[in-house]
Amino acid sequence: MRWNRKEKDVYNRAKESQFKDFQQQIGITFADEKLLRHAFTHSSYVNEHRRKPFEDNERLEFLGDAVLELTVSQFLFKKYPTMAEGELTKLRAAIVCEPSLVSFANELGFGKLILLGKGEEMTGGRERPALLADVFEAFIGALYLDQGIDTVIGFLERTVFPKINAGAFSHVMDFKSQLQELIQRDGTGVIEYRVLQEKGPAHSKEFISRVTLNGKELGVGTGKSKKEAEQHAAQKALSVLKTKTT
């Protein structure tokens, strides 16, 4: 199943118009529009245009994946100066996973821009999650090659980072990280943890920890380690703060 020549001409003219509108929409004009087109070119389209030097977006996807991981990592590193490496990794994974990338792509209308072969078009390829996620990464790769890392960061500051700031990925954090993120988001002050009591024999100790906000107690937790007690205290604090906002 292939496009005939007339269908191809109509299809390609429509895409060129959409690419121009898209650049206006995001406020970025590509110096090399071929790179932009390349980012949205699926292998099925290339297979139907073998006489023309089209290339699919898989190599750009590879590059964009690395650029996205770097820029998101830098943002999280700066935003959460006390967050442990494991929590940063878990949070980054939630932001750059396929469902998140699909959501970003859909919000920007990436689906309508993809260059597909007729068969892929007819079977709903434009809405296929894996395809949309790949296109988002390929676009980031193309933007990086065309405009550099600062433009990529600027684009993410308008499209992805606000979602992080709004707490869209807080559910993957541990309780201490969730509490820290909530306090930073609201700008309400400084949280501190303090061990109130340590009891029991060395092989079976129990810790009692308290978390405070600007010196005011938010929660007390117990655990078999200082870390576990702090997590439970943070969990109690989150319940208190969320009850106040509902």
Catalytic (active-site) positions: 65, 137
Tell the residue number behind the tokens 């400084």, with chain if given: 190
Distances (CA, A) of 142 to 37, 172, 175, 198, 208: 9, 30, 37, 56, 52
Tell the residue number behind the tokens 């107690």, with chain if given: 217
Q: To the nearest 10°, the Cα dihedral for 88, 89, 95, 97?
A: -170
Tell the residue number behind the tokens 């060395």, with chain if given: 202
d(Cα 233, Cα 221) in Å, to the nearest integer? Answer: 4
Q: What backbone torsions phi and psi does residue 138 show, to the nearest 5 degrees?
A: -65, -40
The answer to whether the beta carbons of residues 92 and 73 sit under 8 Å apart is yes
